[in-house]
Each structure stands twice: as structure tokens, then as C-alpha cells.
Structure 1
């Protein structure tokens, strides 16, 4: 009887601990805030009124530029984008960093492109074992598979800019439509 009680108690602990660990995982916005290094991204998401979207059910895949990536933008660019009158342009840039669905690093390396929430494809290339994303400019994926309660974050070193509408056609290769 004593063994059964101990076994039942251990089983209950094993079931509760993973549930608690999973519930401790924040959503994309909370994870970005806690991770540090994404202060500018969080500020931009707030200015673009995308917080509720990125806290939503998802799942989402976010290619998240670091504070250093935002600092590398030409002088005045970030300040201009954060102005209320430029919210649509800021939203277009930020949603170009988001793919609907949870796409892990293992899946990313097998793709030529992914359809962004912004509506244009994001090119994906693997060169010498390093993953690069291609829009109007190029970004390197520097950290992968940061799990959140509503998706996954991959850290990139550059703020991606969507290609001009006329440039957004076929990026080459097949796509799985994400």
C-alpha cells in the first residue's frame, strides 16, 4: 500500500511538473521582453499596435531583429518609423518578420521561402551551414528555436525590409506555402 501511494505521488509530480513548465513559457511578446536585447523590437511592436496580435493564439514564427540590428538602420530611420503617421509602414516591416504557423529551424533549412503575414515571400538560403533570410536586404539567423507559448522565435542580425511590390514575385524554387 505504501509503495502504491509513493508511486501515485511520483506519477502525479511527473504530470504536474511538465504542465507547470509549459505554463511558465510566455507568449512571443513576453518572451521578447524577458530575453533582453529586443527592447527596440518591443517598442516597435507597441507603436505598430501589434502587441495583441503577437500575444494571440498563433502559432507564429517570428524572425526577431536584435537591438543591434535596429541600431544599424540608417540614422533617423527608426525614429521616423515610430511616428504615428508612419504606422502602416512600420506594420508592413514588422509583419514581414512573421510567418503564420510554428516553423522550427529544422523546417526552415528545408525551405526556399516562407510566406509572411505581411503578404510577401521571405527568401531562405543556407550557405555553409548558416541560414540567411532575403527580402530587399539580407539577414543572418543567429539563434534558433526560442520556444514560446504561441510559437517560436528565431533571432536575426538585421531588420529585414520587404521587397518592392514589383520585386515580390517568384524567389526561385518551390515553397510549401507558409
Structure 2
């Protein structure tokens, strides 16, 4: 974990985006517009305070401009704790192809996949790497999704499973899934890293 903290801090300094935490909070609470930010803005301004390692990775991989575009995109974000298992990928990330492949494997272009949509999906095609296999188990369970201003009642599977080299579960409790919607896509929080088959 200490290595992760040092890596994240150095990454913020390299990219020139080490704004004070108070400034980031002020930006996240900007009420001048009710419009949702883009995914690029969320990661550029580091609004995901519990997922700073992934936000820094998006910036370092040069994906902010991509995620500022119209999209839509679905982004699978791993937690800071999960990032602690990535010492090899985070070693010299600027020249490490595994780093870029890993981060791009967590971004799916062309689709805004809400939790209920997984019921009808078997595969997702990421920016980099082979398709991600999708399986659902149990349910459907009726829950509210969509976040502020756009909440709707939908039917969701009890368990959503993503398969790359390893298997990662979204959930598992449908009522506790951490989903963030943006103007051009959606973010799902993963408890562990989804690895491309080649890694």
C-alpha cells in the first residue's frame, strides 16, 4: 500500500495535476450548472476521491481527451486497494505497454451500460484487448438506478460477472452497487482489477 501511495503521488506530480484537495472538493461541488460532467472531467479533476489511483492512471494513459468526447463509454474503475496488486504494471508506466493495455481494457467505447443492461449482454469490446465476457446470475431484482435526477426503477441481475484473464464480480448486492453516471457514459466500481487475457 505504501508503494501505491508513493506511485499515485509521483504520478500526480508528473502530470501537473496535483491540485490541492480542497480545490478538488470545491470543483466537485460547483453548482453553477446542473449538467452532469463528462467522464473526462470526472477523472481530470479527480472527483472520485476513493479511486485516485485509477483517476491518475486515466490521465497518465492519455485517455482524458477520449473520455471528454461524445461517447458514450462504460468505464470499470478498480479501487485504490485493488491497485495495490499492480506493482508490475505500475513500474515505469510511461514505457510499460502492460500499463496502457490494462487501463484501456477497463474502458468500453460506444455503449453506456447500466446495471439492468447486463441482462442482455454476453460480451463487451474494450478500447484494447479481446472482448470481455459477461455473465449474470440470479434475479432479476427490482431496484432503483441512475443516480440524481435520472433515477428509474429497473430489473437487475443479482450478480454481474466480468471475465478477462480473471473473473470480477460487480455487486454482489444489487442495491449497493456503486454506479456513477456522466453526460457521456457510466462508471461501475470493481472490487478487483480486471486483467486482459494476455497479461
Instruction: Using structure 2 for the length normalisation, give the TM-score.
Output: 0.64
User: Whole-Å Cα distance in 2 between the matches of residues 89 and 52 of structure 1?
Assistant: 21
User: Whole-Å Cα distance in 2 between the matches of residues 90 and 79 of structure 1?
Assistant: 6
* SS of alignment partner, residue 77 of structure 1: coil
2:99 equivalent to 1:90:
yes
2:148 equivalent to 1:148:
no
1:51 aligns to what?
A: 64
User: Whole-Å Cα distance in 2 between the matches of residues 59 and 138 of structure 1?
Assistant: 25
1:65 aligns to what?
A: 78
| Gap runs ≥5 in structure 2 | 1-32, 139-157, 172-176
Number of residue pairs matched by the alignment: 141
| Gap runs ≥5 in structure 1 | 1-19, 166-178
* SS of alignment partner, residue 38 of structure 1: helix
Matches within 5 A, 1:16-35: 20-21=33-34, 23=35, 25-32=36-43, 33-35=46-48
Matches within 5 A, 1:157-176: 157-164=191-198
User: Whole-Å Cα distance in 2 between the matches of residues 50 and 85 of structure 1?
Assistant: 16
User: Whole-Å Cα distance in 2 between the matches of residues 140 and 40 of structure 1?
Assistant: 20
User: Whole-Å Cα distance in 2 between the matches of residues 119 and 68 of structure 1?
Assistant: 24
Would the aligned equivalents of 2:168 and 2:193 in 1 still touch at CA under 8 Å? yes
Structure (1/2) with the larger helix percentage: 1
User: Whole-Å Cα distance in 2 between the matches of residues 61 and 160 of structure 1?
Assistant: 14
Higher RCO (C-alpha 8 Å, min separation 6): 1
2:55 aligns to what?
A: 42
Q: 1:29 to 1:67 in 2, by over 3 A?
A: farther
Q: Flag the structure with larger Rg.
A: 1
Q: Which runs of 4+ in 1 moved over 4 A?
A: none
